[in-house]
Amino acid sequence: MTCNLHWVTTLSDVIPIMTLSDSTQGLQTVMDSISDASARLGLMISRKKTKIMLSGDHQTTPDILVGQDKVDVVDDFTYLGSSINSQGSMDHEISCRIEKKLDAFDSRCLRKILGIKWDAFVRNEVRDRSQQTPVSNTICGRRMNWLGHVSRLPPSRLANQVLWWNPPGRRRRGRPKMNWHQTIQRDLHRVNRGWSDVRSLTADRSAWRALAASCVGRRRSPQV
């Protein structure tokens, strides 16, 4: 099943539309119908915010057009504030919600330190005045820095061995919780990298610092 997200905009109005289809041809037909109907009403489809997400096994990637532009195929996207992915997993969504809670607590602390009352409507002023990044970004940056440090340790060091060790045996029944390794993979996925790239990337300190900064920079910025 193919899931397509369209953002139909007119001036400042944004209308999210999600369509489902079990074939490429069917999805293209729906896309054309929405495009024609939008044009008649004087609306416009945002090409940049229109995405396709595939569910299930697919041998080929569908080519869907909005006008003359090809729509990108993604593994996950944010719809109405919630993270949706092609595997149906809620791990990323739960992590995002936890990070939002951490950032909200961090913002409340900064507001108290700066003497900003609870009923004062300020958004970016808290970060501008405190010159503090969101705590979730700080955690991500330090996680990436720690990974680089441990990866560069000699293979004889226990910490380096544990980093690349695959424990034997079988897991308990039930779906395992998201672990540290998977969290790192999620961070690397933001910059189109994977776990297999870690050894070569961490060998160059400057390149790894730049990559870590890029991972942090591509995180979803919280509203405070």
The CA R_g of the chain, rounded to the nearest whole Å, is 22
**Secondary structure of residue 16 in the 3-state scheme:** strand
Whether 223 maps to a domain, the answer reads no
CB 208 within 8 A of CB 201: yes
Q: What tokens does 124 get?
A: 């970016």
**Secondary structure of residue 55 in the 3-state scheme:** coil
Whether 173 maps to a domain, the answer reads yes
* 141 to 28, 134, 138, 211, 220: CA distances (angstroms): 41, 11, 5, 10, 14
Domain hosting residue 16, numbered range: 2-34+42-85
Last residue of a domain, one of 85, 120, 149: 85
DSSP, res 179: -
State the Cα–Cα distance between residues 215 and 189, nearest whole angstrom.
9
What pLDDT shows up at residue 183? 85
- Whether 158 shows a pLDDT value over 70: the answer reads yes
- Whether 201 shows a pLDDT value over 70: the answer reads yes
Mean pLDDT, to the nearest integer, of 189-194? 83
- 47-95: pLDDT as tens digits: 777 888 887 776 677 788 887 788 888 777 777 777 777 777 777 778 7
Q: What are phi and psi of 74, to 5 degrees?
A: -125, 160
Last residue of a domain, one of 85, 119, 148: 85
Whether 222 maps to a domain, the answer reads no
List all residues 6 or more positions away from 111 whose beta carbon is below 8 Å from its beta carbon.
Answer: 117, 118, 126
What pLDDT shows up at residue 14? 63
Confidence of residue 169 (pLDDT cuts 50, 70, 90): confident
What pLDDT shows up at residue 76? 75
Whether 112 maps to a domain, the answer reads yes
Q: Are residues 98 and 206 in the same domain?
A: yes
Tally the domains of the chain.
Answer: 2
Long-range pairs, 211-215, Cβ under 8 A, ≥24 = 211/144, 212/141, 212/144, 212/145, 212/148, 213/141, 214/190, 215/140, 215/141, 215/144, 215/187, 215/188, 215/190, 215/191
Q: Are residues 108 and 69 in the same domain?
A: no
CB 76 within 8 A of CB 66: no
DSSP, res 197: G
Which of 41-50, 75-84, 190-199, 213-222 is predicted least confidently? 213-222
Whether 203 maps to a domain, the answer reads yes
Q: Are residues 69 and 170 in the same domain?
A: no
Q: Are residues 67 and 110 in the same domain?
A: no
Q: Are residues 70 and 130 in the same domain?
A: no
Whether 126 maps to a domain, the answer reads yes
- 12-31: pLDDT as tens digits: 456 677 777 888 888 888 88
Q: What tokens does 153 get?
A: 């340790």
Q: Are residues 78 and 12 in the same domain?
A: yes
What pLDDT shows up at residue 35? 82
- 97-150: pLDDT as tens digits: 888 889 889 988 988 898 888 777 776 678 888 888 888 889 988 999 999 999
Q: Are residues 78 and 146 in the same domain?
A: no
Q: Are residues 213 and 104 in the same domain?
A: yes
Q: Are residues 76 and 17 in the same domain?
A: yes
Q: Are residues 52 and 71 in the same domain?
A: yes
Mean pLDDT, to the nearest integer, of 193-201? 86
Q: Are residues 122 and 56 in the same domain?
A: no
End-to-end CA distance of the chain: 37
Q: Are residues 80 and 102 in the same domain?
A: no
